Structure 1
Amino acid sequence: MYSAIVFLPLVGFLIAGLFGRAIGAKASEYVTSSLLVVAALLSWVAFFDVALGTEALVQIPVLQWISSGALDVTWTLRIDTLTVVMLVVVNSVSALVHIYSIGYMHHDPHRPRFFAYLSLFTFAMLSLVTSDNLLQMFFGWEGVGLASYLLIGFWFKKPSANAAAMKAFVVNRVGDFGFLLGIFGVYMMFGTISYDDIFAQAGAIAAGTAQNAPSLEFLGYSLSFDSAITVTCLLLFLGAMGKSAQLLLHTWLPDAMEGPTPVSALIHAATMVTAGVFMVARLSPLFELSHTALTVVTFVGASTALFAGTIGCVQNDIKRVIAYSTCSQLGYMFVALGIGAYGVAVFHLFTHAFFKALLFLCAGSVIHAVSDEQDMRRMGGLRKHIPVTYWTMFIGTLALTGFGIPLVHIGHTYLGTAGFISKDAIIEATYAGHNAASNFAFWMTIAAAFLTSFYSWRLTFMTFHGKPRASVDVMKHVHESPLVMTVPLFVLAVGALFAGMAFQSGFIGETYDTFWKGALFTGADNHVLHDMHHVPIWVKLMPFIMMVAGFLLAVQFYIRKPDAPKKLAERHDALYQFLLNKWYFDELYDFLFVKPSLKLGRFLWKRGDGAVIDGMGPDGIAARVQQITAQVVRLQSGYIYHYAFAMLIGVAFFITLSMFSGGGAH
């Protein structure tokens, strides 16, 4: 069963990729989508067997991969609770995205290629989450990078799509370089890349029973164990920053909106950006050995949550608003990881997948309805025209903003949407956290909750409420999406509403230990989980207050006084431009890295390669040969008497030479 879950998407990729033209677009759609539905159903069976059952850890060898000296790597599927949670997320969202894409991509002539890429993306992510060693994880890590490049640039005839795909690839290479160095560091310290061996040694070191704590040579410095594990964890986290679009390595994420909307849903909800969160959670026994690294993770996550929220408030592209929302929510997840609340972080990853996929697919339904328009300033008044899309997006917005009833619970389960339960849990855990950045992170996540509510309702009001701002011709053709697109919205809406309440007790509640079964580091996590239930009441109320405040401000700006945002932007133009231009990170990187690289490349091309290498090498020799032959050609006049004269000169020369040679012999 587990092998089928992982490799069915690969089979779909091979069929659609190799035989798509032969079997046709329809067959490619149905084959890949059917295989993903089967994989998703099997993933839920695995979830109930492992997470809610008695199985703790299943390891399934697939093949002998690499054997070189002391390095012996077997491709093995590691199935524990963390894995099956990710299997459910990846395959469920991917299956719904596949089905939705049948309608959304209906008019595209390259559908077999698109569905092949989607299945490849899914397989790469499944390879990552089922990895049993760091090299296997790196394979999946690079696989999702490749698939994202192919899908973001799917419409390769658009220069903006090509640029966005290249940007995603290059920015992720920066993070991946750090991740690779981190893997090298782990191998040098522990002598293995197998999770079981690494975690066993890490546990012995944490317990103080290890005979010798390993050290590390890095950049010419001999590092003690504490310094070595901190450097290694920070390098690993650098990889997570790239994949999960954290502050400084976030710039590729909004540009990824150049790909088809189903791609955005898959990247933001189930694959690519969740890889970094999964990696830190999987390696939690290592990160627990470095409080400095965990503090950095907390600080970066909190900064990203607020930073992305500020930008989301002024963006006008409907997909970019949701993209920055993803960036912000990932910041929440890293905050939870940094304070040691690993189960809370994965819980938010799990619930976030439902409402974020829902929001992106609803955005795609809106774009589909208004003739591919993405600017919210040219929308408005769509509520009555596309009611199914409106109400499902309304549900997604409620979940994202954290709508629920604070302090009220049935048994141990709070009443509210998925986002309410998981995001509020992060804020409460952050207040209860004890690392140096916990207090900072608490207030940043509180502020981000307000911003999240404001820009989410801003999107809803600008898109669906008020007077239509689209042209009359566009409004005439506004229509609801077909069932093949709306059915996935219904399924995701159910998850956005009830996933938090249904699974709270297992992820972060009273059955935590029997649910996770040691798949996550539990020392600090259980401590935080215990303390978060005893935070002051005002802490529990703050996210709800921020949610309501953001909603009321959005109502004031976009329902009651729709001209107020424009006046405010004009009054504070510098701040508005700062946020609209995304804190000028793109311009800064362009100045620091892109332009110098282009200048250096042009210099090496023109001066180095052209003038020196080619000038003194092939081009220089070729030019001299051409000059000499041009002079020699001039001797070929075509007149017989010129040739006879040349022959006489030659005869005279050889006779003279013979005479002098003969005379010299006597």
Structure 2
Amino acid sequence: MTASSWLLVAFPALGALILLLAGKRAKAWGHLLGCATVTLAFVYGVILFFAADTKSTVDTKLFSWIPVSALQVDFGLRIDALSLTFVLLITGVGMLIHFYSIGYMENDEGRYRFFAYLNLFVASMLVLVLGNSFVTLYLGWEGVGLASYLLIGWYQGRNSAATAAKKAFLMNRVGDVGLALAIFIMFKYSGSTGYAQVFDAVAAGKFPPAAITAMAILLLLGACGKSGQFPLQAWLPDAMEGPTPVSALIHAATMVTAGVYLVARSREIFNATEDGRLIVTLVGTVTLLLGCVVGCAYDDIKKVLAYSTVSQIGYMMLAVGLGPVAYALGIMHLVAHGFFKAGLFLGAGSVMHGMNDEVDMRKFGGLRRKMPITYVTFGLGYLALIGIPPLSGFFTKDAIIEAALGQGGWRGWVMGGAALLGAGLTAFYMTRLMVMTFHGKERWKDLKSEDGRDFHPHESKPIMWVPMAILAVGSIGAGAFFALGHRFTEWLAPSVGETVEAHHLPVEAWVISVAAVVISLLGVLIAWLVFRRDVPVERPERVSFVTKAARKDLYGNALNEAVVARPGTWLARALVYVDNRGVDGAVNGLAAALGGGSGRLRRLQTGFVRSYALSMLGGTFLLLVALLLVRFS
């Protein structure tokens, strides 16, 4: 079965190719083909899941890709527990998002092209997680970047969408440079880019310690770009300019999970550098708090969920940065997050669908009576996200908090304390979203949308709410599975190593679990007391400094502007000046000097014999004068 694993990529890739070649001729059936190809990939992934021996790793070579002297790169796929976990997540959640998109994009003229891009997105992500070398991973990495650029900028008539797509593309290029440099270091010391060869070389001590740390930091830079981690998180909220199914796909099943996968896949490298792991945990800790704080200040329902993703990916990065203690825990939270975050985004899309594409939560209120199915499915995702037992988020987030506290010393208190604080803040801003959207006064009754239409909220079609219901059930079912104990971590052990029990816990594990739930409930209570009253439709401008900073993304854009964009612009202008005045100036100046000199010399060639005779006479006279001066000097 593993020999034909290439079919996993071939199905969605073929769908994208057919739809792009067919063009407008695929209007009537393009969406059906797009859904069918991803469904086939999911079905084959399930078959492979049960047929493959995940206790071992199987690398399958498909063909020789880059045979250049010492650089021999084969295009191959790796089937193991880690890659199959991502295959099922990508194709399963991706399939549901495809079906949801049939209803959501029903009136879009370019729906066939939209499904082609979705297929391309899924195919690229599958290449990323199935490749058996870092170069193959890089191919999928860039494919995901291209697909995200096309989908984020889907509404081409909006300047904001074009800007968001460009921003995502450019900020991801920063991370991609880090990943590329890491691959160069791998090839220098191991002579290969294949996982097996690189990891064996690390184990054999062929890499100097400084090179291993440099590789780890550069890999982390790549992960920060794709997963929206500090300091490259600013593109992720702006990506909400794309259609809501795109947001669900990016945030739940594909792009933002790539960075976590990269760190987990490279565990042999990170296990060999404590400094590298520490930087990963610090980045994850800062990001999870940053996402929580900013999420409390936004009124845009999709951007609140976007910063929730930033925060939750921060939890995952914190976990995988802890090393052998928690690689599997990070992946476990990633899988749970795939269910409930996809459901939340699709629920937000359902709300927008019924509210004339409005995203401002201050204009919502009381929608639970008009959209009961959306309310229930969204509510289950909300409870899973804030970590209420027995839903999935409780088991996965609680395990990460325990692992962080178990580090002992300042690391345990700082990282574990940040994770607990993040749980309370998450409960606060998500309860704020729930109350402002589904509870309270129906504020939309006295308002009109931006295009002047009245609001008439209504439940979405079955093609939209059925995927939401399945994801809601997944949020519960995943929790039941994770509650069974170490089943999932044992499944991943051959790929990411055995999970080591956390040591040095300051208190009993059950006390930490209770504390996490109590802190979350406290966040729920505070948000309920604050926002259950009538919420003003206009956002108050006189707010605290913290709120102002949060509304400006804690100055993340300003930081990137000051550190990267503005110096880059200055450097580019300086180089243009040097090129124009220096390089081009020297070349053009020499050409001008030769041209001018030749023009002046050309004047001596008159063609008149008397002129030549006169010049000869003058030359003879000068020569005689020179000889006389020499003779009598």
Is this a same-fold pair by TM over 0.5?
Answer: yes
Structure 2 residue 22 is matched with structure 1 residue 19: yes
What secondary structure is seen at the aligned counterpart in 2 of 1:26?
Answer: coil
Structure 2 residue 533 is matched with structure 1 residue 554: no
Give the direction of change, closer, same or farther, for the CA distance of 1:392–1:67 in structure 2 (3 Å limit).
same
Structure 2 residue 485 is matched with structure 1 residue 482: no
Q: 1:585 matched to which residue of 2?
A: 556
Q: 2:630 matched to which residue of 1?
A: none
Give the direction of change, closer, same or farther, for the CA distance of 1:338–1:660 in structure 2 (3 Å limit).
closer
Give how far 1:176 is off: 1.0
Residue 23 of structure 2 aligns with an amino acid whose one-letter code is: G
Whether the aligned pair in 2 keeps the contact of 1:87 and 1:129 (CA below 8 Å) is: yes
Which of these residues, 2, 5, 10, is aligned with residue 5 of structure 2? Answer: 2
Distance in 2, Cα, partners of 1:160 & 1:565: 22
Give the direction of change, closer, same or farther, for the CA distance of 1:261–1:335 in structure 2 (3 Å limit).
same
What secondary structure is seen at the aligned counterpart in 2 of 1:182?
Answer: helix
Give how far 1:258 is off: 0.8
Whether the aligned pair in 1 keeps the contact of 2:362 and 2:536 (CA below 8 Å) is: no
Distance in 1, Cα, partners of 2:371 & 2:581: 60
**What pairs with 1:90-105 in structure 2 (closer than 5 Å)?**
90-105=90-105
Q: 1:239 matched to which residue of 2?
A: 222
Q: 1:296 matched to which residue of 2?
A: 279
Residues 480-525 of structure 1: CA deviation (Å, up to 9, x unaligned): 11111111101101111111222454xx615744x23511133xx3
What secondary structure is seen at the aligned counterpart in 2 of 1:154?
Answer: coil
Q: 1:329 matched to which residue of 2?
A: 312
**Aligned-residue CA RMSD in angstroms?**
3.0
Residue 108 of structure 2 aligns with an amino acid whose one-letter code is: D
What secondary structure is seen at the aligned counterpart in 1 of 2:458?
Answer: coil
Residues 74-131 of structure 1: CA deviation (Å, up to 9, x unaligned): 1111110001100011001111111111111111111121111111011110000001
Distance in 1, Cα, partners of 2:396 & 2:488: 16
Distance in 1, Cα, partners of 2:586 & 2:276: 52
Residue 26 of structure 1 aligns with an amino acid whose one-letter code is: A
Distance in 1, Cα, partners of 2:296 & 2:403: 26
Q: 2:194 matched to which residue of 1?
A: 194
Give how far 1:589 is off: 2.5
Structure 2 residue 238 is matched with structure 1 residue 267: no
What secondary structure is seen at the aligned counterpart in 2 of 1:437?
Answer: helix
Give how far 1:394 is off: 0.6
Residue 15 of structure 2 aligns with an amino acid whose one-letter code is: G
Give how far 1:57 is off: 2.5
Residues 354-392 of structure 1: CA deviation (Å, up to 9, x unaligned): 000000010011111100111111111211111111111
Comparing 229-238 and 533-542, the one that deviates more = 533-542
Q: 2:434 matched to which residue of 1?
A: 460
Give how far 1:166 is off: 0.9
Distance in 1, Cα, partners of 2:220 & 2:36: 36
What secondary structure is seen at the aligned counterpart in 2 of 1:519?
Answer: helix
Whether the aligned pair in 2 keeps the contact of 1:269 and 1:353 (CA below 8 Å) is: yes
Residue 71 of structure 2 aligns with an amino acid whose one-letter code is: L
Whether the aligned pair in 1 keeps the contact of 2:363 and 2:447 (CA below 8 Å) is: no
Distance in 2, Cα, partners of 1:595 & 1:511: 46
Give how far 1:546 is off: 1.3
Residues 518-567 of structure 1: CA deviation (Å, up to 9, x unaligned): 11133xx3244x88899443212121011100110111011147579988
Give how far 1:72 is off: 1.9
Give how far 1:609 is off: 4.8
Q: 1:113 matched to which residue of 2?
A: 113
Residue 30 of structure 2 aligns with an amino acid whose one-letter code is: S
Give the direction of change, closer, same or farther, for the CA distance of 1:436–1:236 in structure 2 (3 Å limit).
farther
**What pairs with 1:357-376 in structure 2 (closer than 5 Å)?**
357-376=342-361
What secondary structure is seen at the aligned counterpart in 1 of 2:23?
Answer: helix
Comparing 603-612 and 370-379, the one that deviates more = 603-612
What secondary structure is seen at the aligned counterpart in 1 of 2:66?
Answer: strand
Distance in 2, Cα, partners of 1:102 & 1:591: 42
Which of these residues, 538, 543, 546, is aligned with residue 575 of structure 1? Answer: 546
Q: 2:423 matched to which residue of 1?
A: 449
Whether the aligned pair in 2 keeps the contact of 1:458 and 1:558 (CA below 8 Å) is: yes
Distance in 1, Cα, partners of 2:358 & 2:15: 32
Q: 1:644 matched to which residue of 2?
A: none
Whether the aligned pair in 1 keeps the contact of 2:81 and 2:495 (CA below 8 Å) is: yes
Q: 1:410 matched to which residue of 2?
A: none
Residue 218 of structure 2 aligns with an amino acid whose one-letter code is: L
Which of these residues, 369, 377, 392, is aligned with residue 377 of structure 2? Answer: 392
Comparing 588-597 and 330-339, the one that deviates more = 588-597
**What pairs with 1:245-260 in structure 2 (closer than 5 Å)?**
245-260=228-243
What secondary structure is seen at the aligned counterpart in 1 of 2:29?
Answer: helix
Distance in 2, Cα, partners of 1:38 & 1:532: 46
Give the direction of change, closer, same or farther, for the CA distance of 1:533–1:13 in structure 2 (3 Å limit).
farther
Residues 123-166 of structure 1: CA deviation (Å, up to 9, x unaligned): 11000000101111111111111111111111122111111111
Distance in 2, Cα, partners of 1:135 & 1:93: 26
Specify every segment of 5 or more residues in structure 2 that has no aligned partner in the other structure, as ranges: 600-605, 617-633
Give the direction of change, closer, same or farther, for the CA distance of 1:64–1:434 in structure 2 (3 Å limit).
farther
Structure 2 residue 489 is matched with structure 1 residue 509: no
Residue 311 of structure 1 aligns with an amino acid whose one-letter code is: V
Distance in 1, Cα, partners of 2:39 & 2:504: 40
What secondary structure is seen at the aligned counterpart in 2 of 1:526?
Answer: coil
Number of aligned positions between the proteins:
593
Whether the aligned pair in 2 keeps the contact of 1:339 and 1:438 (CA below 8 Å) is: no
Q: 2:478 matched to which residue of 1?
A: 499
What secondary structure is seen at the aligned counterpart in 1 of 2:56?
Answer: coil
Give how far 1:20 is off: 2.8
Residues 214-251 of structure 1: CA deviation (Å, up to 9, x unaligned): 34xxxxxxxxx222211211111111111111111111
Give the direction of change, closer, same or farther, for the CA distance of 1:659–1:134 in structure 2 (3 Å limit).
closer
Distance in 1, Cα, partners of 2:511 & 2:385: 21
Distance in 2, Cα, partners of 1:598 & 1:48: 53
Whether the aligned pair in 1 keeps the contact of 2:282 and 2:318 (CA below 8 Å) is: yes
**What pairs with 1:54-453 in structure 2 (closer than 5 Å)?**
56-202=56-202, 205=203, 210=204, 213-215=205-207, 225-340=208-323, 341-404=326-389, 416-433=390-407, 437-453=411-427
Residue 328 of structure 1 aligns with an amino acid whose one-letter code is: S
Whether the aligned pair in 2 keeps the contact of 1:318 and 1:459 (CA below 8 Å) is: yes
What secondary structure is seen at the aligned counterpart in 2 of 1:382?
Answer: coil
What secondary structure is seen at the aligned counterpart in 1 of 2:28?
Answer: helix
Distance in 1, Cα, partners of 2:371 & 2:72: 57
Distance in 2, Cα, partners of 1:272 & 1:426: 22
**What pairs with 1:609-624 in structure 2 (closer than 5 Å)?**
609=580
Q: Percent of counterpart pairs with the same letter?
A: 39
Distance in 2, Cα, partners of 1:534 & 1:42: 46
Q: 2:49 matched to which residue of 1?
A: 47
